[in-house]
Structure 1
Amino acid sequence: MRILIADDHDLVRETLSAFLTNEGEFEVVLAEDLPSAKDRIAEDGPYDLVLLDYGMPGMNGLDGLGEAQAANGGKPVALMSGIAPKEIAQKAVDQGAAGFLPKTIAAKSLVNAVRFMCMGETYIPHDFLTREEEEVAKHPLAAKMSERELQVLGGLCRGLSNKEIARELDLQEVTVKLHVKTLSRKLEARNRTHAAMIGKEAGLV
């Protein structure tokens, strides 16, 4: 099976590629943004599955999904993200995406999900759809924060810039900046790095 993985983070691309290549049944091609992915599809597509990072350059929210679907000739296109909320996952599937993969997905689950989607099925991890409400209730700090603030905090914990978080959450950069300021105040954090440290220690993300 031929798989195209498009993500603007080198480590993510290489890690996902290694997971699949080690199985011996996948031929993996990599791209760093949506324009590059579309070029690859035009050159040697369609692919059995195209995996797109929701927040990478060129995506413009779910617009990029539609562009990739058109380019890949009706074959499966799926999204992946580290911090996009479940609402985005549902909208993507409603738009015809083959599925949605959190970047925290385990290697074995990733391989099974890719096989599943290549067969024409739709995949979203059940625990992804239910985990947010369950996990945030475990710590008293979570009660102080909105769901959006927790999503922004997740981006901080991954070392993303405000611009990168804005792309993944489909927000304006100035809105993310405001959320960072508010959540830092609620966590009594000195700065964004301190906020990320507090969030990780408290198990908020």
Structure 2
Amino acid sequence: MRILIADDHMLLRDTLVLYFQNEEGIETATAADFDEAERLLREGDGFDLVLLDYAMPGMEGLSGLTRMMQIPGHHRVALISGTASREVAEQALEAGAAGFLPKTLSARSLVNAVRFMALGEQYAPLDFLRAAEEEQQSHPLADKLSSRELEVLEGLTQGKSNKEIARDLDIREPTVKLHVKTLYRKIGAANRTQAAMIAKDQGLF
């Protein structure tokens, strides 16, 4: 298995190479930026997997991932990052990336993830996605409401009637009215318009 590690931090590149040197059947090459990685991929003997640092020079965000995947060959491409959000990770996976690897992964987890991706599977650590999701959901306004009240409030911000919200959530209309009344009190709104404005002004939806 041949792996191309592209990252602008020399210490990280060297550390990853050391990880893989102790693994049988894995060969590595390194690049310090996107352009060098692209050149090695086009001119080299072929790689099974390319690990791209999300924030290195030349990447231009997810467009670098797309460009690397479009280079002719049988290689797969995964993102590695210490700063990218859950949203970026999900977008990368949806775009067809082989995986998303946080730089906080242990050496053993990293090696296992690489072998997993080399077999044609898609990898992303569930604990990262869940932790990021929980962090994203932590919002002063959202913390005041139940999950059902949040769903109802989202419907209000979309201008939906109680009947439409009830249909979308598969609950009875009187139940929606009760949730609306309760969430008004919790967020300090007098009516539907004010509730929607409060939610939007605080960036909830």
TM-score (norm 1): 0.64
CA distance, structure 2, for counterparts of residue 123 and residue 111 of structure 1: 12
Indicate if the aligned counterparts of 1:53 and 1:81 stay in contact, CA closer than 8 A: yes
Q: Output the CA distance in 2 between the equivalents of 1:136 and 1:86.
A: 9
**What is residue 49 of structure 2 aligned with on the other side?**
49
Matches within 5 A, 1:149-160: none
- Map residues 28-107 of structure 1 onto 2, 5 A cutoff: 28-71=28-71, 73-107=73-107
**Per the alignment, do residues 60 and 45 of structure 1 end up closer, same or farther by CA in structure 2, a change over 3 Å counting?**
farther
Displacement of 1:80 = 0.6
**Corresponding residue of 1:187:** none
After the TM superposition, list the runs of 4 or more consecutive aligned residues in structure 1 that deviate by more than 4 angstroms: 133-137
* Equivalent position of 2:191 in the other structure: none
The one-letter code of the counterpart of 1:84 is A
Contact residue 47 and residue 74 of structure 2 kept, 8 A = no
Q: Matched residue of 1:80: which SS?
A: strand
Deviation at 1:136, TM superposition (A): 8.8
For 1:89 and 1:45, how far apart are their aligned partners in 2?
Answer: 29
Contact 2:81/2:102 (<8 A) preserved: yes
1:135 Cα offset (Å): 6.6
What is the one-letter code of the residue matched to 2:15? T
How far apart, CA to CA, are the structure 1 residues paired with 2:24 and 2:74? 25
Task: Show structure 2 runs of 5+ residues with no match.
Answer: 141-205
Report the secondary structure of 1:63's partner residue: helix
Secondary structure at the aligned position of 1:5 is classed as: strand
Check 1:3–1:59 CA distance in 2 against 1; reply closer, same or farther (3 A cut).
Answer: same
Q: Does 1:124 align with 2:124?
A: yes
SS in 2 for 1:110: helix
CA distance in 2, matches of 1:106, 1:127: 13
Maintained 8 Å contact 1:46/1:72: no
Take 1:103 and 1:72, find their aligned partners in 2: how far apart are those partners? Answer: 28
Write the distance in 1 (CA, Å) between the matches of 2:68 and 2:24: 26
The verdict on how the C-alpha distance between 1:113 and 1:67 changes in structure 2, with shifts beyond 3 A counting, is same
Counterpart in 2 of 1:18? 18
2-side partners of 1:120 and 1:45: how far apart? Answer: 20
TM-score, normalising length from structure 2? Answer: 0.64
Q: Specify which structure has the bigger relative contact order, considering alpha-carbon pairs within 8 angstroms and separated by 6 or more residues.
A: 1
Count of residue pairs the alignment pairs up = 140
Q: Separation in 1 of the partners of 2:52 and 2:112?
A: 17
- The CA deviation string for residues 27-66 of structure 1, in whole angstroms up to 9 with x for no partner, is 0000000000011111214310000000000000111111
**Any gaps of 5 or more consecutive residues in structure 1?**
145-205
Give the deviation of 1:2 after TM superposition: 0.3
How much has 1:24 moved relative to structure 2? 2.5
